[in-house]
Structure 1
Amino acid sequence: MATPLSASAALSALRGEGVNVVEVGSWRTHNRAGHGAWGPMHGVMIHHTVTEGTAHSVAICRDGYSTLPGPLCHGVIDKAGTVHMVGWGRANHAGLGDDDVLAAVIAERPVPADNEANTDGNSRFYGFECINLGDNVDPWPEVQVEAIARAAAGLCRAHGWGAESVIGHHEWQPGKVDPRGPIGKKGGPALTMAKIRARVAELLDDKPSKPSTPSKPSTPAKPTYTPPAFPKGLAPNKATPSAKGLQRALKAAGYLAKSVAEADNYGPRTQAAVAKFHNAHPTYRAAGVNYDPAIGPKGWAALHRLAYGK
């Protein structure tokens, strides 16, 4: 049980987890106030939109329909992994669900099969709508799945919750199927809430429950250590040159879980870890952006000094 986060606290929680966030209009005050309670909060609920296209999906989730006024969630997670904040406060996303499921979420134990719709979920859960057709064919890009886990982990971390506080709409309300579909490509492995919760658990184990946010950019340079030369051409979504050296440095500095397998490809997890480094050391982040997944020569040197400097 928890008092709802303020809009500013929620924004800090998401960005502190390395999530790229876009603020849509007056989202901080856009809600269903006067149509039911908002809080106490118990968890995070994940949905799919049954729409395609970012602008179209965000507009629907913000404004709703004549029969179901918006906001229809708090944040919309697009296929590129960006979270578009469309509302804060009570939102029409969860509807009525199973009180036995709520009890399990509160106790942070595995949820039972839902077979009732007797409890208001709009007052008790934060909600993220994720852009996907929901036809069990439309694939979920890995970067989107990672953003889902990071958004959920950010709110869980802010409240001191564990991964069992994150559920899918289908686990809450009988007859719902979201979220579902293959990961990465058509025919890929199925997206499941068990996989999302496992990633949330990894993220929560990866750093302290209260992330530090230095008031001034810190410079981790230590003069007694000379970093290796920056691999020319190292960039997101490329496998040449290999990203393994970057991944090892990120692990040594505490920005990438040690359980993550090293690979040549500069993939979504490596990108998210680099963004975490940039959030802690904004001096090396690209100007004017909040989420920078690319490491440059100066950031590379600073990261290696932080990881291996004596």
Structure 2
Amino acid sequence: MADPLSAASFLDALRGEGLHVVEVGDWRHHNRNTKGPWGPVNGVMIHHTATKGAERTVDICRTGYSGLPGPLCHGVIAKDGTVYLVGYGRANHAGLGDDDVLRAVIAETALPADDEASVDGNRHFYGFECENLGDGQDPWPAEQLLAIERVAAALCRRHGWTERSVIGHLEWQPGKPDPRGFTMASMRDRVRARLGTKAPATQPLPAPRRPIVDLSQLVAAARRDPAATGTPVTYAGTRTVEAALVDEGLLARQRLDGHFGRDTITAYAAWQRRLGYTGSAADGIPGRASLTRLGDKHGFQVVA
């Protein structure tokens, strides 16, 4: 049993274990703390998302959906091993679970069968959603399984927990199937072995290949006049930029449609002003410096 780590310590623990971490928007202050307590924390819970595609998965886990507002976890673990931080504090990931399971996690003993839902798990667990369809056929790449191992070990190491503080959603709440495709027993074995090392890995995992945004094409698209034809300007790679502007609170989510039109230009101009640009330098036409700053923060790469 422990107080939750500060957001800074949480991030430091993950990076200290060699993980490639992407911070999404204002993740440090995105939570459901107004709906109930956050802490004491007792363990780490692993889920699968039943979704496909890192960008879509991160968006859903950050914002939630009808009837279940986000964040739906603290971090999303993509298939390439990248960890996207989408919230911190109370998150809608665990729901009600078995009080006997919680007592076993606290005591770090073998888990009993989960046969009731009476305890608020959102209060007691760090939650990580892993990109996978959960159909038993969708593969779990080695990079993703290694990232799950490192995430769990990072938090156990920081709190002084053993691998028995790591559980799956299916071990907490009756009827839940996740994660499906590997066993939590095998993952706890991996975490135990990692915790047996004298120190965290000092060499981080190679940064996964990031989505690429072509600056020249983006500029050409932005300089077209969408009013001339009455339709938005379309640019194939813009959704990545639009998603970043949405996360920055500069673009309405309903404009996340793959077009670089007037609304996106206006939002990008606001991003330029946020960086300190004024006048013609904040006209909504992307420049290398401002686009690189956006890409570094939101996980895409800029090429000429």
Q: TM range, normalised to the smaller chain?
A: 0.5 to 0.7
Aligned to 1:275: 204
Residue pairs, 1:144-223, within 5 angstroms: 144-181=144-181, 191-208=182-199
**Aligned residues of 1:16 and 1:276 also touching (Cα < 8 A):** no
2: CA distance, partners of 1:57 / 1:86: 11
Structure with the higher helix share, 1 or 2: 2
Describe the SS at the equivalent of 1:34: helix
Aligned to 2:103: 103
Aligned to 1:299: none
Aligned to 1:215: none
Matched, 1:122 2:119: no
Amino acid in structure 2 at the alignment position of 1:30: H
TM-superposition CA deviations, 1:250-306 (whole Å, max 9, x none): xxxxx5xxxxxxxxxxxxxxxxx74379xxxxxxxxxxx9xxxxxxxxxxxxxxxxx
Describe the SS at the equivalent of 2:33: coil
2: CA distance, partners of 1:34 / 1:131: 28
Amino acid in structure 2 at the alignment position of 1:128: F
Describe the SS at the equivalent of 2:4: coil
2: CA distance, partners of 1:34 / 1:11: 23
**Identity of matched residues, %:** 66
Structure 1 stretches (4+) deviating beyond 3 angstroms? none
1: CA distance, partners of 2:50 / 2:198: 34
2: CA distance, partners of 1:132 / 1:207: 32
**Aligned residues of 1:24 and 1:85 also touching (Cα < 8 A):** yes
Aligned to 1:18: 18
**Aligned residues of 2:113 and 2:171 also touching (Cα < 8 A):** yes
Please report the TM-score for the alignment, with normalisation by the length of structure 2. Answer: 0.67
1: CA distance, partners of 2:92 / 2:204: 32
| Structure 1: tracts of 5 or more residues without a match | 182-190, 212-254, 256-272, 278-288, 290-310
Describe the SS at the equivalent of 1:176: coil
Amino acid in structure 2 at the alignment position of 1:275: P
1: CA distance, partners of 2:29 / 2:187: 29
Please report the TM-score for the alignment, with normalisation by the length of structure 1. Answer: 0.65
| Alpha-carbon shift at residue 33 of structure 1 (Å) | 1.4
Aligned to 1:7: 7
Aligned to 1:66: 66
After superposition, the CA RMSD in angstroms is: 1.9
1: CA distance, partners of 2:204 / 2:70: 32
2: CA distance, partners of 1:145 / 1:102: 24
Amino acid in structure 2 at the alignment position of 1:82: T
**Aligned residues of 1:72 and 1:92 also touching (Cα < 8 A):** yes
2: CA distance, partners of 1:137 / 1:47: 16
Amino acid in structure 1 at the alignment position of 2:197: D
| Structure 2: tracts of 5 or more residues without a match | 207-295, 297-304
| Alpha-carbon shift at residue 66 of structure 1 (Å) | 1.9
2: CA distance, partners of 1:106 / 1:168: 15
Matched, 1:80 2:63: no
